[in-house]
Amino acid sequence: MKLLIVDDSLVIRNKINSGLLKRFDKVLRAKNGVEAIEVVKLVRPDVITMDLTMPEMDGVECIQEVMKVCPSTHILVISALADKATAIAALSCGANGFLCKPFTQSQLTDAIEKVLAIQLSR
Amino acid sequence: MKHKKQIDIFIEGVKRYFDHLTFEEELLEIGAPYLVRNSERLGLDYTGAISITGDSKGYVFFSSTSPLLKYILLGHGASNFSEEYLGDIVGEIANTISGNARSHMGAEFHISPPKVIVGEINKYNMNLNSRSYVLPIRWRRNSAQLIVSLEENEQLL
């Protein structure tokens, strides 16, 4: 399975990578929505972790684009925007889960397992 | 009252951030908030700046000494303390605390991606005739500050 990590923070990309490396065969990274779409077109990842507040193209716009290109991809939003309206907006665009920053590695693992369970049940 | 509520929201955000670092229990000290004129020297070694638009207008800054940022990087499992990593983490902290505040401040509290400033922040598009409030932070014997410079502040001074 392939994972794409989308976050404008290098430290957070590394943290997510180290937490999930063993769960996936291949892990790719993008620092904004524009880069992410390029990777999705080439690689078609099974799962994406998606930040929302990013330069170039924000996360919600990126999710909408991903859904056009690769609708079978499952998306876990990982964002500091902790309000209900943001979570609903992300989920209604096609995201499958929402994890609020700051997060621990165990919270990350739990959240990704829930998203994978949705994927495997289909 | 509105001013106090706003301060409490940011204090909660700071506590929440430090609680999530995977370290042995370490006392986080948040001192009494105080007001400063924007014309005074503001900012420690590195600062993450978040531009706020919507119902509130202005900036939220997380400013820190380098040693404190190095401990935070360790807490995230990072052992690279280069300028790139120090700048990245200070921006991410500012983003996280500001983003968390949105659940209390409302959907019209819009935050920008972070910008990183090295050294003084006073020239960063701030209204030098206005004032900001500062939350002094101490953790692992090192200092940081959360500086909140929002338009509402002026009405309460």
Per the listing, tokens 């700051």 go with A102
Dump pLDDT digits (tens) for B109-149.
Answer: 999 999 999 998 876 777 778 889 999 999 999 999 999 99
Nearest to B111 by CA among B121, B100, B119: B100
Mean local confidence (pLDDT), A27-41: 97
A31 pLDDT tier (thresholds 50, 70, 90): very high
* Separation of alpha carbons A64 and B146, rounded Å: 34
3-state DSSP call for residue B80?
A: coil
Residue B78: half-sphere exposure toward Cβ, Cα within 13 Å: 24
Domain boundaries, chain B: 4-149
Indicate the number of domains in chain A. 1
What residues are paired with B81 via a beta bridge?
none
The verdict on A92 touching B (C-beta cutoff 8 Å) is: no
CATH number attached to the domain at B4-149: 3.40.1550.10
* Separation of alpha carbons B113 and A7, rounded Å: 11
* Separation of alpha carbons B47 and B50, rounded Å: 10
Contact criterion met (CB < 8 Å) for A83 and B107? yes
The DSSP symbol for A44 reads -
Give me the numbers of helices (H) and strands (E) for chain A, helices first please: 5, 5
Contact criterion met (CB < 8 Å) for A15 and B111? no
* Separation of alpha carbons B75 and A75, rounded Å: 26
B155 pLDDT tier (thresholds 50, 70, 90): very low
A:B CB pairs within 8 Å: 68
pLDDT above 90 (res A103):
yes
As given in the structure block, the two tokens for residue A93 are 């665009």
Q: Which helix (H) or strand (E) holds B34?
A: strand B34-37
Nearest to A104 among B20, B89, B99 (CB): B20
As given in the structure block, the two tokens for residue B59 are 């900036």
Examine the predicted complex and report whether its ipTM is higher than 0.90.
yes
Q: What angle do CA A64, A69, A72 make, to 5 degrees?
A: 90
Note the pLDDT of residue B157: 41
- For position A104, which CATH number holds? 3.40.50.2300
- Residues in Cβ contact with B101 at an 8 Å cutoff, skipping those fewer than 6 apart: B9, B10, B13, B60, B109
Range of the domain at A37: 2-121
User: What string of DSSP letters covers B93-122?
Assistant: HHHHHHHHHHHHH-TTEEEPPPEEEES--T
Q: What angle do CA B58, B63, B69 make, to 5 degrees?
A: 145
Nearest to B150 by CA among B61, B63, B57: B57
Biggest CA–CA distance in chain B, Å, is 44
The verdict on B107 touching A (C-beta cutoff 8 Å) is: yes
3-state DSSP call for residue A68?
A: helix
Disruptive mutation site among B62, B95, B104, B105 for chain A (greatest number of A CBs within 10 Å): B95
A35 pLDDT tier (thresholds 50, 70, 90): very high
Note the pLDDT of residue B14: 96
Gyration radius of chain A's alpha carbons: 13
Q: Which helix (H) or strand (E) holds B157?
A: none
Dump pLDDT digits (tens) for B3-35.
Answer: 788 899 999 999 999 998 866 667 899 999 999
Q: Which helix (H) or strand (E) holds B50?
A: strand B46-54
Dump pLDDT digits (tens) for B70-101.
Answer: 999 999 999 999 999 999 999 999 999 999 99
